[in-house]
Amino acid sequence: MTTVTHLECSVCSKRHEAGKIHNLCECGGPLLVRYDLKKARESWNRDWISNGPSSMWRYAPVLPVSKPSSIVSLGEGMTPLIHARRLGAKLGAQDLWIKDEGVNPTGSFKARGLSCAISMCVELGITKVAIPSAGNAAGALSAYAAAAGIEAHIFMPRDVPQANFIECSVTGAKVTLVNGLISDCGKLVAAKKDAEGWFEISTLKEPYRIEGKKTMGYEVAEQFRWELPDAIFYPAGGGVGMIGMWKAFAEMEELGWIGSKRPKMIAVQAEGCAPMVRAWEQGKERSDFFENAETVASGLRVPKALGDFLVLRAARESGGTAIAVSDPEMIEAGVQLASDEGIFAAPEGGACVAAARKLLANGFLKSREKIVIYNTGSGLKYLEAYSPAFPR
């Protein structure tokens, strides 16, 4: 199974022992899982992957779970990569693709990270978990915790989409609705976790959600026969999927599966909550807390992300950018994606379509470039966001 050697702090580079329960480094930095990729290269070949399961667990040697019996899977990963010809023609893109994460279990890409994190909870003997969430992460945690027989405690803003609240409740989680944002939910988890004996699974406050999410990078490489696209659009609330893909590309190069070419990594945010875009425009390495955050894309309503410096680093090192779009733009683009391609995307996916339109129009991207848009969730979970456009 796994080739894990240790955990490494993304800030101070301190090594931490694998196989132990960890949250953040002592310096406050997120921990990243490191592998013996030389060993993996000697015993694992990319040509063998197609013989593995049709899920993200086909990449098990570069995932942290050491015992197959610990894996908690609902079939997450290996999502469709769809050539969006009609939409591409309208946007001026000859080679546009949609990676549709909305077909994952629980309807979003969050299934990947929570499958991996809960599997590690099983392996490490953790029996109670807690998470602050803007919606979809809570739904995924609740489902995987239920499948593992682990007690789940959810803290989410009171105005989350109804689908998120119901899916958490129906899968048996203990849900607390909070008058505030995800940042307020995080404060409550931090205040109560020690007394309650909860393991906190906040974004990047444990090392394993990012490992599940990085499989989006392995998959896009495999689906394009180990040639990476020229540009990737990713909706960045916490931005962990983008951080994970950037990590995956480095791992694949060390494995000898890809070369040094990288896609332009483009972080997309909402104008009503754009801390990373503001930091990008100001040339800062980290963002400031975004006051009065508001957007219909609940996954983008993250006023301050712990891993913002890693998102901005990936955008900078890849020659990418960070861009914000308005709520009306993302909903209109989501409707266009659905009507042109039959993909009913979350507003976050619509935001990436709107961002692609802008960057193709201003010449940042060329029409001939191979462009991948990540739709991170199903539009069916955001009916409240779309309903004003279709009054009954």
Domain residues of the chain, as ranges?
81-107+209-389
pLDDT at 224: 98
Amino acid at 109: F
The answer to whether the beta carbons of residues 239 and 268 sit under 8 Å apart is: no
pLDDT at 182: 87
- Report pTM: 0.95
The answer to whether the beta carbons of residues 350 and 91 sit under 8 Å apart is: no
In the 3-class helix/strand/coil scheme, how is the chain assigned residue by residue? CCCEEEEEECCCCCEECCCCCCCCCCCCCCEEEEECHHHHHHHCCHHHHHHCCCCHHHHHHHCCCCCHHHCCCCCCCCCCEEECHHHHHHHCCCEEEEEEHHHCHHHECHHHHHHHHHHHHHHHCCCEEEEECCCHHHHHHHHHHHHHCCEEEEEEECCCCHHHHHHHHHCCCEEEEECCCHHHHHHHHHHHHHHHCCEECCCCCCCCHHHHHCHHHHHHHHHCCCCCCCEEEEECCCCHHHHHHHHHHHHHHHHCCCCCCCCEEEEEEECCECHHHHHHHCCCCCCCCCCCCCCCCHHHCCCCCCCHHHHHHHHHHCCCEEEEECHHHHHHHHHHHHHHHCCCECHHHHHHHHHHHHHHHCCCCCCCCEEEEEECEEHHHHHHHHHHHCCC
What architecture (CATH level 2) is domain 81-107+209-389? 3-Layer(aba) Sandwich (3.40)
pLDDT at 196: 96
pLDDT at 192: 95
Only one residue has tokens 């779309």, namely: 386
pLDDT at 147: 98
pLDDT tens for the chain, 392 residues: list them: 689 999 999 999 999 999 999 999 999 999 999 999 999 999 999 999 999 999 999 999 999 999 999 999 999 999 999 999 999 999 999 999 999 999 999 999 999 999 999 999 999 999 999 999 988 999 999 999 999 999 999 999 998 889 999 999 999 999 999 999 888 999 999 999 999 999 999 989 999 999 999 999 999 999 999 999 999 999 999 999 999 999 999 999 999 999 999 999 999 999 999 999 999 999 999 999 999 999 999 999 999 999 999 999 999 999 999 999 999 999 999 999 999 999 999 999 999 999 999 999 999 999 999 999 999 999 999 999 999 999 98
pLDDT at 161: 87
pLDDT at 277: 98
> Which residues, including other chains, have CB under 8 Å from residue 38's CB and lie 6 or more apart?
none
Closest listed residue to residue 35, CA positions, set 298, 218, 278 = 218
